[in-house]
A and B are shown apart, each in its own frame.
Chain A
Amino acid sequence: MSINISTIATALDQAARHAEPLAQFSTHTPFSLAQAYEIQRVSMQRRYADGERSIGIKLGFTSRAKMQQMGVDSLIWGWLTDAMLEEDGGEVALSRYIHPRAEPEVCFLVGRAIDRPLTLLEAAEHIEAVAPAIEIIDSRYEAFKFSLEDVVADNCSSSGLVVGPWSRNLSGLDNAGVLMRLDGQLAQVGSTAAILGNPLRSVAEASKLVSEAGLSLPAGSLIMAGAATAAEALRPGVHVSVEIAGFGESAFTCR
C-alpha cells in the first residue's frame, strides 16, 4: 500500500502546533523506517518555512532496556529547534504540550563541525562542553502509543528542552549519578552510564546517523544524548530539577 508522506507530515505538524493528539498511522497505513525519516524531514521543513531554526539533534532509545522494550536494536534521532528551547530555571507553559513528560539527559555542545562518522576518541575532540539537561517529550499520538516508525515520523516526540550550566571538563561523565526531583521529592535515580554505557558514545552515534543522512552538525549545535532514567509526567505547578553529580543542575517550573 502506498502512503502519502506529505499528508502524514502535515497532520503531525498540525498536531504539534495545536497540541491536539492523533491516532497512530502505522496501524492502518504501514510505512518503513526510511519513509518515517522522510515524513520527519518533510514535517520539519514546514516548521523551518515558518521561521523556526534547527539547533541540533536528539537521540532516542539509547538504553538497552528501552531498545528491548521497543523491540529494536538501533537508536533513533530527531531535530531540535529554537522554538523548543525553554529557559533553565524558568517557567514552562504546559498549554503548548499535549501530555508532556520530562526525562533527565546530558546535553553536548558541538565545538567543531561534525561532518563525518567519528570514533569515540574523536567524538570528545568535537565537543566543546556538556550540561545537565531535561528533555520534555510529548508524543503527538494519543496515549503516547506508537510504533518505531510512528515515533520517528513524529520527530521522536521532541518538544522541549532545558539546558543547565556548561562544563568544559568531560571527566567523570561516564558514570555520574542522576537525580530527578519533582517538587523536591526524588522521582528518578540513575546514572549517566544508562546512556549507551557512556554518554559520549551518543556523540559518535550521532555523527554516524547524521552522516548517513548526508547532513552535518555545525559548531554550536546541541546533541541531547538520550535519557538517563524513565520519564515523569508533568502537571501544572510542579517544579522539576535534574542534578548530575559533578555537572550541576537544570530545572524548571510547570505553569
Chain B
Amino acid sequence: MHTALIEAAERLSQAQATGQPCKPVRELIARAQVEENAADPVALAYAVQQHNTRLAREQGRRQVGFKVGLTSRSVQQQLGVNQPDFGVLFADMAVGDGQPIAVDAVLQPKVEAEIALVLAHDLDHERHTLADLIRATAFALPAIEVVGSRIAKWDIRLEDTIADNASSGCFVLGSRPVTLEVLDLVRCGMKMTLRGEPVSVGAGAACLDNPLNAAVWLADTMASFGEPLRAGDILLTGALGPMVPAAAGDIFHAEIQGLGGVTAAFAKPQ
C-alpha cells in the first residue's frame, strides 16, 4: 500500500483517538493516485478505509454489518456523485435504545433516521436481485444512525468520507422486528422529533427510491470486494430524511410508519 494511503488512514484513526478533527485526506489519496498511476481514487479511498478496518479487527473489534451512505439524491448532488458508498459497523458502535451517547463518542455528530435490515442468509452471489434481498432479510428495525466526521468542519469530498468509514459514528436500533410482507418500505413516513418538534421528515423512497435498492447495491459491492454479506449482518440502508446536527443533551425520537420508534439520547454535559 502506498505510504500516502497509510498516512491518510493514520490521520483518521489519530483524529478518532485524540478527539481532534483532522485535515481532509483527499490530497494524500490524490498523491497516491498520481504516483501509482491509478485510475480510480474511489478504490484508493476504500483501501484507506479497509486498512483501518483490518486494524480494528486485529484489535478484536467485532464486525456486525455495514452502513450505506450517500443514498439521497440531494446528498449525491452535493458531493457530485451518482452512487452510494459504504462503511463498516462494529459491535462497539451499537448503542441501546434510549441509552446515553457520550458526547465525545462521535466527532461532530449528526443524526439520521433509517431502516435497518438484519439478514437471515448469506448473500454471496456476484449480482443480487431484489428478490434475493427479500428472501435473505430476517426482519427490519427502525434505526437512528449517528454519523460523524473525523475531518474538521465536515469539509469532505467523496474520497474523504469513503476513507473515513463513510463518516460512521454509532447507531441505535429499535427492538420490534417487522418482516417485509407487512412493511411498505417505499411509502412509509418518517418523522424524527427533538422535544416534540419535527426536525427531519421523509419517507422510505428518499433512500434510492427504495431502501432495498441500497441493500442490493451493498450486496453486489461487498461481493466484488470478496467480503459477501453474511447471515446476522445489520444493514443500515440510508437516511430517509435530512440529517440533523446533534448537541449534548439532545434526545431524538424517530418514528417510521409501520416500524415503530427508536430513541437516540445524547448525554447531558457534565
A243 to B203, CA, bound (A): 11
A186 B205 Cβ-Cβ under 8 A = yes
Cβ 8 A contact of A197, one of B197, B204, B209? B197
CB proximity to B under 8 Å, residues A149-179: 172, 174-179
Residue interface mask A185-228, B partner, CB < 8 A = 1:
01001111110010000000000000000000000000000001
A228 to B206, CA, bound (A): 14
A85 contacts chain B at the CB level, 8 A cutoff: no
A179 to B206, CA, bound (A): 9
A190 B203 Cβ-Cβ under 8 A = yes
A164 to B228, CA, bound (A): 45
B187 A197 Cβ-Cβ under 8 A = no
| A-chain residues with CB within 8 Å of residue B201 when the two chains form the complex | 190-191, 193-194, 228
B257 and chain A: residue at smallest CB distance: A175
Q: Which of A175, A178, A243 has its CB near the most chain B CB atoms (within 10 A)?
A: A175
Q: Which of B73, B197, B205 has its CB near the most chain A CB atoms (within 10 A)?
A: B205
Known contacts A175-B257, A177-B257; is-contact A191 B202 (Cβ 8 Å): yes
Q: Which size bracket describes the interface of B in this complex? A: 20 to 34
A195 to B241, CA, bound (A): 15
| B-chain residues with CB within 8 Å of residue A178 when the two chains form the complex | 189, 203
B59 → A minimal CB distance (Å):
40
A245 B190 Cβ-Cβ under 8 A = no
A228 to B187, CA, bound (A): 14
| A-chain residues with CB within 8 Å of residue B198 when the two chains form the complex | 63-64, 193-194, 197
Known contacts A175-B189, A177-B189; is-contact A64 B257 (Cβ 8 Å): no
CB proximity to A under 8 Å, residues B187-231: 187-191, 193, 196-199, 201-206, 209
A245 B193 Cβ-Cβ under 8 A = no
Cβ 8 A contact of B257, one of A176, A186, A189, A228? A176
A172 B187 Cβ-Cβ under 8 A = no
B85 contacts chain A at the CB level, 8 A cutoff: no
B187 A177 Cβ-Cβ under 8 A = yes
| B-chain residues with CB within 8 Å of residue A190 when the two chains form the complex | 201-203, 241
A63 to B188, CA, bound (A): 20
CB proximity to A under 8 Å, residues B32-55: none
B134 contacts chain A at the CB level, 8 A cutoff: no
Known contacts A193-B198, A197-B196; is-contact A177 B205 (Cβ 8 Å): yes
Residue interface mask B149-164, A partner, CB < 8 A = 1:
0000000000000000
A198 to B205, CA, bound (A): 20
B187 A192 Cβ-Cβ under 8 A = no
A74 → B minimal CB distance (Å):
16
Known contacts A177-B257, A245-B257; is-contact A193 B205 (Cβ 8 Å): no
A177 B191 Cβ-Cβ under 8 A = no
A197 to B73, CA, bound (A): 24
B46 → A minimal CB distance (Å):
29
B255 contacts chain A at the CB level, 8 A cutoff: yes
| B-chain residues with CB within 8 Å of residue A175 when the two chains form the complex | 189-191, 255, 257
Residues of A that sit less than 8 Å from B by CB = 63-64, 172, 174-179, 186, 189-194, 197, 228, 243, 245-246
- Besides A194-B201, A197-B196, A246-B187, 17 other CB < 8 A contacts? A174-B191, A175-B189, A176-B187, A176-B189, A176-B257, A177-B184, A179-B186, A179-B203, A190-B202, A190-B241, A192-B189, A193-B190, A193-B191, A193-B255, A194-B198, A245-B187, A245-B203
The 5 listed contacts between A and B (C-beta, < 8 Å) are: A64-B199, A186-B73, A191-B202, A191-B257, A194-B201
